[in-house]
Structures are given as structure tokens and as C-alpha cells.
Amino acid sequence: MASNSSSDKGTRNLVIVMVSFIVVVGVVFSLISNRSSSTAAIPASVSEADGYGIVLNPEITPKIDVYVDYQCQACKFFELINGDYLNEIISQKKAKVVYHPMSFIGPESALAANAVACAADEDKFMSMNLALFQNQAEDRNTGKWTKEYLALLGESIGITSSSFKSCVSDGKYVRWTSNVASESGKADVNSTPTVFINGKILDREKGEYGDVAKFRAALAASGIK
Amino acid sequence: MLAKFKLIQPWLTLLARLILGGVLLAAGGLKIGNLQKSAMSVRAYELLPTDLANFFGYVLPWIEIGMGLLLIVGAVVSIMGLLGALIMLAFVVAIAQAWARGLSIDCGCFGGGGEIDPGETKYLSTILRDLGFFLLGVYLYYFPKGRFGLDK
């Protein structure tokens, strides 16, 4: 035993050094990879100043920020309940609306966010937004939302250009989704859907997400009616 | 009684190391695949300033992995036991304050996390579980010498 003790000690120290190394490398890698990347390709309608969100009606002043994850079921209900009214606000230019497609639920959320960004480049953001929620899988990351599926989904709502198809299949804006995620974190968004009206968060407990009358009232209180 | 404890103590230490180390390794490993979610679950406690919460969300999983590995192989067991106890105590405090303030969050202990429906919270069972891990950490701090460990 005694003759082995120095080599035992060496093994122990080596293990400690290796584990510390793994931790340090992991930490550094995580901190760097979760920062917004200035080299990521971003859609034309995206504004860095608006948290890398997709901006509709950039010139109008009251501002609505909508944070969703396309795989989140509560977001689907929010869209089905309030989507028509939001569409009306956008088409009648009553507010600037910024969509932040998050991807914390998993890889298919990032693919969906990429596809909706590709649609935004074709001026079809709102239709793709709705189509995604209408075609949400029963569960998360089931394998339903492949690039091929999402390209076909766009085609089914009339986005037929080859630029859209290649944008979806190349995952052109997948890196941008990390920027959205990082900025959503800085905005302290902890669940989806989350909506801010002029920076003021909608109250979940008062039912302002799940009831269109309350949603309208909350918007009206900020002068959007 | 004391003689008997002396006999089984190294085995108890091994068991405590494997449980606490395994739990930490699993907790960290399940988080590193989705660090966005990890940061989100730390933010949801509404305890730290947002930037610091995000920082912890990215860093904590790696710390847990490191501590878990060292406990499993039995290196620097005493310090890891103390750190493990402290980290578990911090989790208990964080969960208890979320409960007391009426937040509806998932602890995010093993991935997951963030705001959830009020009916889905599991504060009490999580606190009791973490207190158990806290006791294992305390035990390892006082009895770090066990079977099959690198510490001699």
C-alpha cells in the first residue's frame, strides 16, 4: 500500500485537474454560445434594438411585444383566441407589433422560428404564424416539424418562391433564434406566451391572455383600440 | 454500537457519495442540453437580478456536473460534501421563498423549470427531497473517508 500511495495521489490530482478543466471549458463555452451573435443572418424585418424580434409596422408608436414558442400549447390558445384581433391591429396600423419566436422547448421550436422568419422575408409572417400554431403537434419535439414539412406548410399557404424554400431548408435564420433567446432572457421572459404593451407585462392571473375581451381592454388601456 | 458504525461508515460514505454525486451529475447533465431553459428556470425564481440569474443558469449545470463527478470517484469528498450541502440549502431557500411568495414555478432541478400552472407546483416534496440531499452532504463533510474513493 505504502509504495502505491504517491501514484494514488497522482491519479487523484489528475482526476481533480481533469474535472476542473471540463467545468471551466463548459462554463466558458456556454457563456459565449448564449450571447447574441452579431454575425448571425437576420431577416429584413428584424430589429436588433427590439430584441432581435420580427417587427410589423415599425413606424407606429404604441408597441406590443409578443413572446411565443411555436411548440407551446398556451401560445396556440393565445393565437386562436386573440390572433384575429392582433391581425386587425397590425393591418389597421394601430400599433407596432414585435414578435419574438423563442426556442426553449427544443430543436423543433428553432426550426419553426426559422420558418416563420423566412416567411417574414416574403411578407407572410402573420399567415405562417397562424399556420404553425394550427399545425402544432400533440406533443413536443415529436419529429413532425422537419424542414421539409415546414417548407410544404409555407407552400400550402401560398409561399411558393424558391427563396423561401431554400431559406427553410438551409436553416438560414437558425442562428438568429439564439439571439432572440438571449435577448428574451435579458427581457426576463420566463414563460410563453408573454406580452408587453409599451413595456408593461400583461397579467396572467387576471386572464388577460385567455379572454379576448380582457385582452382588448388591456390594449385599450394603453391607447390601442 | 460505535464499533458497528465504524465498520459500516466507509460503506455509508460510498453510498452517500454515489447518491449525491449521481443526483448532481444527472441534474447538471439534463440541463446542459437546453441552457436557455436552465437560465429561464433560474429567472423564474425572481430572486436574482436578471443578468445574474442568466449567468447562473448557464454556469450552474457545469458546477453540478463537476461536483457530481468528483463525488462519484471520491476525490475531495469533504469539500464536495460541504459544497453539496450548501448548494442544496440554497435550493431549499429559493424554493421556499417562491412558495411563500405564491409564485407558480417548476423547480427546474432536472431540466424543465419556468412558470407553470398553480395546480402543478410540488414545493413541499421538492424541499423535503433537497433536505435529504443536504443531510447526505453534511454526512460526507464529517465522514469523507469511504470505500473505493480516490482520497486516501
Closest to A69 in 3D by CA, of B3, B115, B148: B115
Answer whether B150's CB lies under 8 Å from A15's CB.
yes
Q: What is the band of A10 on the pLDDT scale with cuts at 50, 70, 90?
A: confident
Res B1: pLDDT: 75
- Over residues A103-116, the mean pLDDT reads 95
Res A4: pLDDT: 59
Res A5: pLDDT: 66
Partner-chain contact A19 B69, CB within 8 Å: yes
Global pTM? Answer: 0.87
A139 touches chain B (CB under 8 A): no
Distance from CA of B32 to the nearest CA of A (A): 9
Partner-chain contact A185 B43, CB within 8 Å: yes
Res A93: pLDDT: 94
Cis peptide before A62 (omega within 30 of 0): no
Res A1: pLDDT: 42
Answer whether A147's CB lies under 8 Å from A168's CB.
yes
The dihedral formed by the CA atoms of A157, A163, A164 and A166, expressed in degrees to the nearest 10 = 130
- Over residues A36-56, the mean pLDDT reads 93
The grid cell for B1 is 454500537
Among A44-53, A74-83, B109-118, which stretch is predicted with the lowest mean pLDDT? B109-118
Per-residue HEC secondary structure of chain B comes to CHHHHHHHHHHHHHHHHHHHHHHHHHHHHHHHCCHHHHHHHHHHCCCCCHHHHHHHHHHHHHHHHHHHHHHHHCCCHHHHHHHHHHHHHHHHHHHHHHHHCCCCEECCECECCEECCHHHCCHHHHHHHHHHHHHHHHHHHHCCCCCCCCCC
Partner-chain contact B35 A30, CB within 8 Å: yes
Q: Which residues of chain B neighbour A103 with C-beta distances below 8 Å?
A: 36
Q: Which residues of chain B neighbour A191 with C-beta distances below 8 Å?
A: 40, 44, 114-116
A210 touches chain B (CB under 8 A): no
Q: What angle do CA A22, A24, A27 make, to 5 degrees?
A: 105
Listed by number, the residues of chain A in 143-182 with a beta carbon closer than 8 Å to a beta carbon of chain B are 181
pLDDT tens by residue, chain B, 152 residues:
788 888 899 999 999 999 999 999 999 999 998 898 999 999 999 999 999 999 999 999 999 999 999 999 999 999 999 999 999 999 999 999 999 998 888 888 988 777 888 888 889 999 999 999 999 999 999 999 888 988 87
Q: Where are the domains of chain B?
A: 9-142
- Over residues A132-149, the mean pLDDT reads 94
Distance from C-alpha of A99 to C-alpha of A8, rounded to nearest angstrom = 58
Report DSSP letters for A88-111, one per residue. HHHHTT-SEEEEEEE-TT-HHHHH
Partner-chain contact A22 B66, CB within 8 Å: yes
Among A21-25, A97-101, B4-8, which stretch is predicted with the lowest mean pLDDT? B4-8
Strand A200-201 and strand A194-197: pairing?
antiparallel
pLDDT at residue A215 is higher than 90: yes
What is this model's ipTM? Answer: 0.86
pLDDT at residue A3 is higher than 50: no
Best mutation target, B46, B56, B62, to test chain A (most A CBs within 10 A): B62
Q: Point out the residue among A15, A31, A186 whose CB comes nearest to the CB of B150.
A: A15
Closest residue, chain B, to A194 (C-alpha): B115
Count CA within 13 A, CB hemisphere, residue A212: 9
Task: Report CA-CA distances (Å) from A80 to A102, A125, A147, A202, A213.
Answer: 18, 16, 24, 17, 14
pLDDT at residue A7 is higher than 80: no
| Averaged pLDDT of chain A | 93
Partner-chain contact B39 A34, CB within 8 Å: yes
Q: What is the band of A36 on the pLDDT scale with cuts at 50, 70, 90?
A: confident
Res A9: pLDDT: 83
pLDDT at residue A112 is higher than 90: yes
Distance from C-alpha of B40 to C-alpha of B31, rounded to nearest angstrom = 11
